[in-house]
Amino acid sequence: MHKKILILLSSVILIGLSYYFYRQSLLGSVYLGLPTVPCQDDTRPIMQNFSLTINITIAGKPYPIESTIGHDYGKCLHTIYVTNASGTVYIRANDTNTYTLGQFFDVWRKTFTTNQIGEYQSQQNAKILVNGKEVTTLRDTPLLPHEDIKVIYP
């Protein structure tokens, strides 16, 4: 009985510490979390295959999107990826899950909070526009076919 309680307590502590460090990594100036998006599996059918656009502006200037997002060379191509720095983002998935803007930044390994993107920190909150309309969903903003998402930090 004591052994089961010890195992349960250890598991709860491990889960709690993992969650704490994950949340801390999102707040740090360098992203330390793990991607939350699976790799594509060529042995399974593709259930989703579409693109959308994400553009980021910081203090009135375009913030470059790296052309290697989603490419873990030698390991996998993630479900969310880009092929160049144009801002076109591709979703190619073996499932029907709805992926989010937060997961895009996780795959990019960039911190993304209300007041921070990568190393840039702002005193004001970011503005997210989806097809020209402001939303307040930040990390939970869904990535849907043919959408135009703008992330603006003042």
Tens of pLDDT, residues 23-57: 544 444 344 455 578 888 889 999 999 999 999 99
Domain 34-153: give its CATH code: 2.170.130
- Model's pTM, two decimal places? 0.75
Q: How far apart are CA 45 and CA 52, in angstroms?
A: 21
Q: Average per-residue pLDDT in the chain?
A: 85
C-alpha distances (whole Å) from 3 to each of 6, 7, 10 are: 5, 6, 10
Give which of 101, 110, 125 is closest to 53, Cα–Cα.
Answer: 101
- Domain range summary for the chain, segments of one domain joined by +: 1-33, 34-153
